[in-house]
Chain A
Amino acid sequence: MLTKRIIPCLDIKDGRVVKGVKFIALRDAGDPADNAVVYDREGADEIVFLDITASSEHRSTLIDAVERTADAVFMPLTVGGGINELEDIKTLLRAGADKVSINTQAVLNPDFVKQASYRFGAQCIVVAIDAKRIPGPANGGKSGTWEVYIYGGRKATGIDAVEWSQKMEHAGAGEILLTSIDRDGTKSGYDIELTAEITKRVGIPVIASGGAGNMEHFYEGFVRGGADACLAASLFHFRELSIKELKEYLHNKGVAIRLV
């Protein structure tokens, strides 16, 4: 039986690991490859690197981090952030990434995901969707709609997140990495309504992200949200929760989990 995945995410700036709260206030905490080795030992099912380096001149530090990580751990590695051209994808895959996560460029260039999927295969193309809930009153009193944001959550696009996820599936995305901007960094739990809405509408795996604060939040993400994988960053990163402990908890609650 296919198991649900637990994915630690490392935010990377200039080749070093950081974690922001609501995309601001970064805290430096170490070397990406060293962190990956710890997560590998603890039984993480995959690792995600999110590059938040602003300028492209520091891109080589990311490539170096990806190479060193891929040399040290033998598990799937997804790398996202700043992917604007097909050549960026090729470079990352060559460096040892298994999948790349595309966010802003997917919105700016409607054909990009299609081209990337065609060239490299859907299995390595993850589309990251940063979604923000549209408040009821601003939306004619209707709740349950979310807007896609780009540029690290800074720019609204006017695109409906649910429709966007379906569009990206058709364009050839192999997976959706769904982050709730409202919940990111709050530790108040995943946006279950958003996660459930999108897992219901697409036939590709969905990773829930943004808001995990305790073990129950993961359970909710899988069981009520229908997520195929749950991602968290600071929670694992600052050792508030160990992956091993989390996986045992989920296993005991009847979730299909790989124990190592």
Chain B
Amino acid sequence: MKKFGVLNHKFMHFTGWLLVLAAANVSAHHPIEAKFDTANAATLTGVVTAVDWRNPHTHVFMNVTTGSVVENWAIELESPIILRLNGWSNSTVQPGDQLQVQGIQARNGTRQIWGETVTQMGTGRQVFTVTESRPAVALSPRPTPTWPDGTVALGSITGGTDGYWGFPSETVLVEDGVNVDMNNDGILTNLADASLVAPLQPWALGLYKNRQQRKLQDDPMFINCKAPGGVRQFQSNLGFQLLEDKENTRIFELIGSGNHNYKIIYMDGREQTGLVGGDDDNPLYYGRSLAHWEDKTLVLNTKGFNEDFWFTNGGLPHSDQLELEERFTRTNADTLQYQVTINDAGAYTRAWTASWNFQWVSGEDLPIHFCQNNRQ
């Protein structure tokens, strides 16, 4: 029986808690602007024909009658995970219900609309509203939990409750110290700021601009369910868990935003096998990670990435020379500081660094999320 950082035990006593609910922008599973045109608003009234309650986005289908013509529209909504957290279910609306939907229409002219407000005609009740609430924040920071040997615990410890790291303070990748305006998906307000985001090589800057101009609609994580490799797994509210297998000197990282993907972080002193050019036979979405402790900071070195995915929200390119140095510091029980240095001579002119924090989500396991092909 291996000794993992135990998930299913009481974590520690909670004292001095203040419930702070912070409304925040919900992280969609694809940039809304990629598919829908914010300048093309519409209001539709119709009768529900079906509800497709599946990730990454819920769809409600509705017959809309105009004169003698009846057309079936797809109303796209947030993911079932987010809707469920806000108290909605697959039976909130049912076939036969009459709805009024206000939203923005699909860029490609198909009968699809992003539902900004959905109202049941009979009752006037607004449904599928979303207000994301962050977990409770401690009034005074609780101390960083440690193992009996004094080392920092990166997740739950024996006797603790379930939990995971989520709610990153940043969902985009921008070099530390740079101030550019972009939304939570990484779409720049001003394309002219593209060169400021990171020290991109000319080809990478051109490709980044191209992706930005296309509103990230080619994102392979969205259209092909590619894995959230690189730093992308750390940009999602779906979070991650770090399970310490001390007996075998390794850590399992369970990734909430992939299809229950995980990676192993080796701490046994082995040599880094991720080669420049990738591990020739099998370059990876999550690379190969080795780690060690520097005082109370876990330091990861990861390389051996393939080029089949976007390594960050927002569409910054990378090459197979990508090497990450990631530093995790649990500053208190509920805060994990994250700093990543991107070293990729194939796409950037120098190494650069970005950082953000995660919040401990206590008492919960990772949300269950499976990506489904979303080309349509």
Answer whether A and B are interacting partners: no
A residues lining the B interface (CB < 8 Å): none
